[in-house]
Amino acid sequence: MKNHTNFFERLANLSSFVIDSGVIYTISEHDSRKSNRVEVGERRYDLNQFMSVAAMEDLEERLYQGKMFTFTQNYVQEALQAEILSERQKDSRKDILRLQEFVLLEVLPLMIDTAYDLGELLHVDLEVKKSGREVIEDVLQLNSKEGEDVEEINVFQEKERLRQKVLERITQEIREEPYIRAEGIIKEQGEKTLWDRLVQGSICVMGGEIFGLRDIDEEEKEGEIRISIENIMYGLEYNCSASDLGEKYDQLLLNTLKQSALAQWNVETDERVMIPANEKKRRGALERLADTKNFEYGNLGYIREGELFYVYWEMPKFAMQNPLEPQRYHPFPATRVSVRVNASDGRVYHEGAYVVDEMAHPFLRDWKNRYEHICILSGGNFENTAQGIVRHISSAINAFTNGLTLKSLDEHGSRDENAMYFGRSLKETYTTVGTLTREQAVEAGYRITNEWILDGKERGEEIQGEKQ
């Protein structure tokens, strides 16, 4: 809302003045020997009553009432939505909860949506076609039953809880103790102005600086600058800059507007604050799953190892065509291909594609370890988003099942079965996994992959597609 200066800042930029007992006094060069005056050495300047601070604040409110109204109208909606996000991030107090929420509510729904399009390719059989979000909400039991109105009541309760929480915080931020304590005549309080909450006593503003008034003894009465109010002489004591006090005034005004907006907000009539009916359920479900080590839906899910999540897509068993002897096919078991995801300082990161279970494959270094990294010579960059993770998994599956090409053999030493992958020949891999004809593989239910001859013509020496 701050795109203007307040009345105090405007006055401080124009001239010197004194504020005493809730009244603004300007300083004039006319010397009429008034009791209210400023003395600089032998020279005297009159203090002339200009306007009360209360009247100035009222004028300020009228001048900017349009902006203030717009601010208060929008503030509650923005503040409560921000509080929801803040609570979610606190629920993610530990990066592990933030990560779990991200995987469950963003990555897996997108994988489920993608599975419908890739069902035939991946042998996915999803009987009821729901959106990925609906599936996860059903699994987490977040959806209300038809005709159930308990959740609507909870929404009102949730809005009221958030309103009270933000209101309490804003109220605490409103300064009860004055920012400046000075001497001089203290205004007998009726209803406090904003100014009264910031400044107690009298001040003088000169050259953009604020001086509090203080009692002086007889010797100091001969000092350079003195102010006489109601026949009492004061000296000046530096306190702060006018801009500093102006900022404090603005912050107090802002908090007061926030407090007023929250206090007057009608939870039942204002529908602009969008709090999902299942918000409490969502938090509770995530808390219940906090210690869950794995989650699966069909052929996809995640496995948690400490603070790492392996988000996987299980490929059905597949038989890769031999790029040197196309009549031979080499069988591999159903394989969970995953991407490793972690979180730090509330941000999610992912790196590397991994095979969840131990298996023999030319692209794996160790055949007897779980979570073995898939080594693909070509690389790719994937954003740290749900879309990036799903593309990463899809790319890794494609490379893992279709990446054994003639070019790959060339890059590993020779275009024959002596090509070395991780210190072992391709022949050793074939001997370990076995060999089938295409007919045998199809009859046994293997998905056929890596076919690079189509209708008797070479498709090319390298399968075209994304690789990890």
Q: What pLDDT, in 10s, does the model give residues 80-105?
A: 777 776 665 554 446 677 788 788 88
Average pLDDT, the chain: 77
**What band does 270 get if pLDDT is binned at 50, 70 and 90?**
low
Q: What pLDDT, in 10s, does the model give residues 301-348?
A: 899 888 888 999 888 899 999 988 899 999 999 999 999 998 877 678
Q: Which region among 21-35, 178-192, 372-386 has the lowest average model confidence (pLDDT)? A: 178-192
Helices (H) and strands (E) in the chain, counts: 15, 23
- How confident is the model over 272-289, as a mean pLDDT? 61
Q: Measure the N-to-C terminal CA separation of the chain; round to a whole number of Å.
A: 48
Q: Looking at the predicted structure, is the pLDDT value of residue 147 above 50? A: no
pLDDT of 310: 93
With contact defined as beta carbons under 8 Å apart, do 365 and 375 qualify? yes
- How confident is the model over 183-198, as a mean pLDDT? 70
Total number of residues shown for the chain: 468
**What band does 226 get if pLDDT is binned at 50, 70 and 90?**
confident
**What band does 54 get if pLDDT is binned at 50, 70 and 90?**
confident
Q: Looking at the predicted structure, is the pLDDT value of residue 416 above 70? A: yes
Tell me the HSE value of 136 on the side-chain side, using a 13 A CA sphere. Answer: 25
Q: Which region among 122-136, 182-196, 419-433 has the lowest average model confidence (pLDDT)? A: 122-136
pLDDT of 186: 58
Q: Looking at the predicted structure, is the pLDDT value of residue 150 above 60? A: no
User: Model-level pTM?
Assistant: 0.50
Q: Looking at the predicted structure, is the pLDDT value of residue 153 above 50? A: no
Q: At what angle do helices 65-91 and 150-173 cross, to 10 degrees?
A: 110
Please give the DSSP secondary-structure letter assigned to residue 293.
-
More confident residue, 164 or 371: 371
